[in-house]
Chain A
Amino acid sequence: MVLVDVGPGLQSLNKDMAPGSLASDWLTIRRPAISFDFPSLVENAGLAFLIECRAVDGLVLRGQVLHDPEQGVLFFLGGPQVANFSEMRALGLGLRDLPPHDSMGDMLVLLETKQAALVDAQNLAEKLTMKRKWFQALIAASSDIVGVIDRSGCVEYVSPGIEKLRGMTSEALVGESFIDWLHEEDAAALRAVLNNENWGPNARHHQLVRLQDCHGVDHTLDVSLRNMADHKYVGGIVINLSDVTDRLELRHQLLQVQRLDTLGQLAGGIAHDFNNLLFVIISYAALLKDAAEPESRDWEDLDEILQAANDASGLTSQMLTFSRKQEVELSTLSFRSVVDEMMDMLVRLVGEKYKLSARTEGSISLVSGDEAQLRQVLINVVVNAKDAMPEGGEIEIELADVEIEEERLDCLGSLVPPGNYVVCTVIDSGAGMSREVLERAFEPFYTTKGRGKGTGLGLATVYGMVAEHRGAIFVDTELGRGTRFSFWLPRSNSAPSGEAKAPSAFVPNLETERILVVDDSEAILKVVDRVLGQRGYEMHTASLPSAALEVVQGEPVDLMLVDILMPEMNGMQLVEKAHALNPEIKVLMMTGYSTAGILEQVTEANLPVLWKPFTPETLIARVRGVLDGDVDQTPG
């Protein structure tokens, strides 16, 4: 068989494949399995042929043989047999080499585009999976709980955050009634909203609801609802639950702290004024007592007055402690030793009906504290425990070292920073306190002990003292089940302080120096003038700083006795102006309570301070001391 004609496609691939050449030189039949001769080809015309074409290495043609009996020739119509465009490219063929009528080209395009579509679908599925996982992680990480309910309150979806409240997986809760989880009153209010036909698309509702978790703990949740029933993807009511239990508690505690602070300011102010009055009473009574015949009726009466005034001074001192306006003397001490030393006294204090014991867990660190105040705290708390058990009982004092790594709030809402603390816990099995009583327990003058049985200053003082030590108070109490009262004191890393130095003895003398007293209280001016005048000092008094400066300008002054808080300017400002006029003047400041800021300035200037109320002896001693160059600032 000879090639009669060769199509342009094949000719372009190999020019040697020309008419006249033997067909068997170029072509080999692969399928069907017939011999390569004319009659066999004619006989099988109409079948699909696969013919290897040596015009190009590896080229196989797929097509059909047609017989033209008139001309006595066979036509072969076909195109390359390839599985994809890569094979085509390897053979040096292109799209143009595929005959237009041949569906092979369509198939190749189809394969290529379907492959691209498959890749696209995979990418899309991957993206959607990522997005879904991202949202799931986001929702799981949120402290809020998100869900979808229907109009009857049935859960269609709820985020995993619900699990800690309900104790079941979010999937298991689908179909449950969200409303049934809530407190009856809150459920009714919410049901009313959902049943309201006017609560239409996009309508919102906001409500606080109470819910008891799977452990029986009560929670308050802030619930936001949005009607998205018409939304094509959501198709329900979206709920957002935010657990506000802690936040509400915090707000409550904050209000309590603010109330205590306000009361503190009030108590501090009153105590200050009282101190001034007591100072006058004590001073005059002391002067009169000095002048009276010892053991006479007047002498004894005046002694009673002094006794009562000193008791009153003790009360104002407690009020100042509560208002944290009492200076504390900090030293490094062993609270364990303090407790050990106090045990005998405390046993006597509570009486025979009570069994008092102390227990220590491990070694107890040192604390930085005012020993006298800490003793007072322990006494007050133990007395409180005793009073909670009128029929007698057991009181236990526990001491332990505690370390906390995260800040927390104490029972009064004060932030307790991370660190090491010495914790003293007084445990009783008494009446316990209701929440209402506990909330007011630290207010001054609040007492449940009945008229005349308590001042109501016990726990208020404890609060002030512990706060002054940057400590914390935790109270675990329940009506009928007793109270665990803990006060925490920050651990000190310093070595224990040495013994306090003994106060210098007062040596009477007839004085000659010139003293200027500045105080806006006329009564104080008069009594100081009298006490120091009797000692022989040349006295000047001024009720206003401007008047004091006139004295300094016109008269020689050896010492100024200056009240810290005054109209026109404070004591520090007056001292600065006076020193500008006469830098030699010595200064002794007076105050009834510490005033943040000004007292710091006084301390920085290393000026001595005389704390009101003071006795005439103390006044005389401190004045003499300052004139003699003693600048000891310890409260006198």
Chain B
Amino acid sequence: MLSEHISRIDGIAIYPIISLIVFSILFIGTIVWVLRLDKKYLTRMENLPLDSNFDNNSEEIKFYNNPEK
């Protein structure tokens, strides 16, 4: 019953369509994004929490000292 009244709001149908489009763009965009990421960067980020003392300005996993840590 309420949906009848809602359906009388001008252009209400646009909302679900906007939702779908916005979501699809965002989702596909993110997939493209992550697929294009640099492998070296990914490896570095994956290891970031593990090694407390690797060089934070290097793009590769380089250690200041104690490489066994």
- Are A and B part of the same complex? no
